[in-house]
């Protein structure tokens, strides 16, 4: 069946006039996320003061003359934005600025994600796949899910694919191989500086032979210190250099996350996703925690049975504790 005969799916991107969306919309619209034969109707949500900017984005999408893009719906109304959507990229959030604490972010963003959760509940398809990109992403996903009780909790995920991609790139550079040769790195926990980048299960293809990251890098001290710190602090490093937060890399990671969710992971490969915790690996239950997952038929599954080195256990406990604290703060904001 050609894309001309296929029914389009509706996809919403919030914060659609912003920096991340400017990179993301083109990646989605040209077919890199949902498949090269899947037509799309894009719903673009932003706040009323951004409507003129959004109109320019709509013009640019038209001028790309993309074969899969059937229609673009720009709006400031969540009821219109979330109507009948199959996938939601929740990008719009108060961005973190230099020197800003995550707690400042929480109070501003809880209100945004409450409104969006309610709109998803009323207007979206019940099998909608929701990716929260706006920070603090893990806790925003919990808030959003709470206000969309008719949609399964497992349909709300948070983006740690950016951290996952950063980790792969660091190992690839250190091992002097192309990035596609690195797989199965893990980001545990929160998308924050407490996250736990873990290369102990990563595999690297070196001249056609699969070896451990440890064997490829040949520097265990680097893997346990600089590698972890570089990935944890990469977002802050980008802000310091660019005076703005990661946009191009965040957009690419959002596309990667949703493509894996819709189209599945390769055999023997897992990716990192913030998903509702069932308590695996000692993570607190009921928070959105980043785990290694495999995906098939649109369903993610936490990879079980991995041996966790004692070196990482305290870090896993710390990132879990931060997520519990964030959840408590978010719920206090909601009830205030």
- Residues forming a β-bridge with 293: 271, 302
The answer to whether 167 and 185 have CB atoms below 8 angstroms apart is yes
The SS3 call for residue 71 is strand
DSSP letter at 90 equals: E
Marked catalytic residue, from 3, 123, 164, 191: 191
The SS3 call for residue 129 is strand
* Contacts by residues 231-237 (CB-CB < 8 Å, ≥ 24 positions apart): 231/163, 231/166, 231/167, 231/170, 231/187, 231/195, 231/197, 232/193, 232/194, 232/195, 232/197, 233/193, 234/163, 234/166, 235/96, 235/162, 236/193
How many whole angstroms separate alpha carbon 232 and alpha carbon 191?
A: 9
How many whole angstroms separate alpha carbon 113 and alpha carbon 154?
A: 17
List, as residue ranges, the binding site for substrate: 96, 102, 135, 166
- Residues forming a β-bridge with 273: 291
List, as residue ranges, the binding site for NAD(+): 46, 109, 133-135
Active site residue 191: yes
| CB contact set of 201 (below 8 Å; sequence gap of 6+) | 184, 185, 186, 292, 306
Active-site residues: which are they? 191
């Amino acid at each position: 069946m050609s894309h001309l005969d296929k029914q389009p799916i509706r996809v919403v991107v919030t914060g659609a006039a912003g920096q991340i969306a400017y990179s993301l919309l083109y990646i989605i619209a040209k077919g890199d996320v949902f498949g090269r034969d899947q037509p799309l109707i894009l719903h673009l949500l932003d706040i009323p003061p951004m409507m003129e900017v959004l109109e320019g984005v709509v013009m640019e999408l038209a001028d790309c003359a993309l074969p899969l893009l059937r229609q673009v719906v720009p709006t400031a109304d969540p009821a219109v934005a979330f109507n009948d959507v199959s996938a939601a990229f929740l990008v719009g959030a108060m961005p973190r600025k230099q020197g800003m604490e995550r707690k400042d972010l929480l109070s501003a963003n809880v209100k945004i994600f409450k409104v969006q959760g309610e709109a998803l509940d009323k207007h979206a398809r019940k099998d909608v796949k929701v990716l929260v990109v706006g920070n603090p992403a893990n806790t925003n996903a919990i808030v959003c899910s709470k206000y969309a009780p008719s949609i399964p909790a497992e349909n709300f995920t948070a983006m740690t694919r950016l951290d996952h991609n950063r980790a792969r790139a660091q190992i690839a550079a250190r091992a002097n191989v192309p990035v596609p040769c690195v797989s199965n790195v893990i980001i545990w926990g929160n998308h924050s500086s407490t996250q736990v980048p873990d290369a102990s299960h990563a595999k690297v293809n070196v001249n056609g032979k699969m070896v451990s990251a440890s064997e490829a890098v040949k520097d265990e001290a680097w893997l346990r210190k600089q590698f972890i710190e570089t990935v944890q602090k990469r977002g802050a490093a980008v802000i310091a250099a660019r005076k703005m937060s990661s946009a191009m890399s965040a957009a690419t990671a959002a596309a990667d996350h949703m493509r894996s969710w819709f189209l599945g992971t390769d055999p023997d490969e897992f990716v990192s996703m913030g998903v509702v915790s069932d308590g695996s690996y000692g993570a607190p239950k009921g928070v959105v925690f980043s785990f290694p997952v495999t995906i098939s038929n649109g369903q993610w599954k936490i990879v079980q049975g991995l041996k966790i080195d004692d070196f990482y256990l305290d870090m896993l406990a710390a990132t879990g504790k931060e997520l519990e604290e964030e959840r408590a703060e978010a719920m206090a904001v909601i009830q205030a």
